[in-house]
Structure 1
């Protein structure tokens, strides 16, 4: 089990996601990854977002935690610099058939309930606009 941290970035009624294309199909995840030894969840969320999306973020608040193979921390965040879609983390440089591909995308909030966005617990929170302000 490994704790993870991720960011939920919303801009102009769209949410930043990573589109995963694996052998069994497509699904979407929030930018994030494992918390390294000596790192806080907040530090991991910021680092992983830079690696995966190519942007520096400022965390706003802890949106929720999800128990899944450890604890997953989801923070709302705002982009402060960088160029979206220029992530150069290991996911993009060591792609394999087993791992599939990753693509940074903006998805309208009105469409996320129609897609396979994981985890569903975060999607449900986002459908309630008041909780992400």
Structure 2
């Protein structure tokens, strides 16, 4: 079974995402990626945040986990420091032919109207929070 880790960052009612443009389709993904051999979930989250977003994450807390198509996914919430959007991971190599990647923020108010993957994270974010 594969293991995938993602980082849910919310600031000023905006969610950190990667805007993808692939095969003329525009969609958004939660930053993250696959666990390396011998890595923990937290180590993966820290590495992926640096590679994809150019930031250092801290105070990570487990938000949700789920299994889908032979992949066990773990998502964490936390804080960050550094220059958001300065990532230099392999995702940004245009020669890979996998479309474009653009780190950005989307308003939580707009979340229901965009294609955000994975769907499980979108559903989690759209749930009413206690006290609302």
Normalised by the size of structure 2, how large is the TM-score? Answer: 0.90
Residue segments in structure 2 that go unaligned for 5+ positions in a row: none
RMSD of aligned alpha carbons: 1.5
Q: Is the 8 A contact 1:59 1:75 kept in 2?
A: no
- Check conservation: 2:42, 2:60, Cα contact below 8 A: no
The alpha-carbon distance between structure 1 residues 4 and 62, as it changes in their structure 2 partners (threshold 3 A), is: same
The answer to whether 1:73 aligns with 2:74 is yes
Per-residue displacement from partner, 1:72-118 (whole Å, max 9, x unpaired)?
11101211x21001100000135433x11100010000111100001
Q: Which residue of 1 aligns with 2:117?
A: 118
Per-residue Cα deviation, 1:12-64 (whole angstroms, up to 9, x for no partner): 00000001110040111111001001100111011101100011011432111
Question: What pairs with 1:1-133 in structure 2 (closer than 5 Å)?
Answer: 1-68=1-68, 69-79=70-80, 81-93=81-93, 95-97=95-97, 99-128=98-127, 130=129
1:66 shift after superposition: 2.3
Q: Is there any run of 5+ residues in structure 1 with no aligned partner, and where?
A: none
Runs of 4+ aligned residues of structure 1 deviating over 4 Å after TM superposition are: none
Q: Secondary structure at the match of 1:3?
A: strand
